[in-house]
Amino acid sequence: MTDTEERVEVGTLQDVLAALSDPVRLEMVRRMYAGAGPTPCAQLYDGVSKSTASHHFKILREAGVIDRSVIGGQTHQDLRLDDVEAAYPGVLSSILAVRPAR
Amino acid sequence: MTDTEERVEVGTLQDVLAALSDPVRLEMVRRMYAGAGPTPCAQLYDGVSKSTASHHFKILREAGVIDRSVIGGQTHQDLRLDDVEAAYPGVLSSILAVRPAR
DNA sequence: TGGTAAGTTCGATGTAGATCGAACAGGACC
DNA sequence: GGTCCTGTTCGATCTACATCGAACTTACCA
Could you check: is the Cβ of residue A75 within 7 Å of any atom of nucleic acid strand C?
Answer: yes
Count of CB contacts below 8 A, A vs B?
Answer: 53
Distance CA A45, CA A32 (A): 10
Distance CA B61, CA B67 (A): 6
> CA of B37, closest CA in chain A: separation in Å?
24
Question: How would you write the pLDDT of chain B (102 residues) with one tens digit per residue?
Answer: 444 445 578 999 999 999 999 999 999 999 999 987 889 999 999 999 999 999 999 999 999 999 999 888 888 999 999 999 999 999 999 999 998 644
What is the Cβ-side half-sphere exposure of residue A1, based on CA atoms within 13 angstroms? 4
Residue B28 and residue B57 in contact, taking contact as beta carbons nearer than 8 Å: yes
Mean pLDDT within A58-67: 96
In sequence order, which ranges of B1-102 are alpha helices (DSSP H)?
A: 13-20, 23-35, 50-62, 81-87, 91-97
Residue A38 and residue A84 in contact, taking contact as beta carbons nearer than 8 Å: no
Do B90 and A88 make contact, defined as CB atoms within 8 angstroms? no
Give exposure, B84-99, as e/b (b: 16+ Cβ within 10 Å).
beebbebbbbbbbebe
- CA A29 distance to own-chain centroid: 4
Could you check: is the Cβ of residue B73 within 7 Å of any atom of nucleic acid strand C?
Answer: yes
What's the pLDDT score for residue A37?
A: 83
- Contact of B14 with chain A, judged by CB distance below 8 Å, is answered with yes
> CA of B71, closest CA in chain A: separation in Å?
32
Could you check: is the Cβ of residue B89 within 7 Å of any atom of nucleic acid strand D?
Answer: no
- Contact of A60 with chain B, judged by CB distance below 8 Å, is answered with no
Mean residue pLDDT of chain A comes to 89
Could you check: is the Cβ of residue B42 within 7 Å of any atom of nucleic acid strand D?
Answer: yes
What's the pLDDT score for residue A15?
A: 96
pLDDT category of residue A3 using cuts at 50, 70 and 90: very low
- A7 has a pLDDT exceeding 70: no
> CA of B23, closest CA in chain A: separation in Å?
7
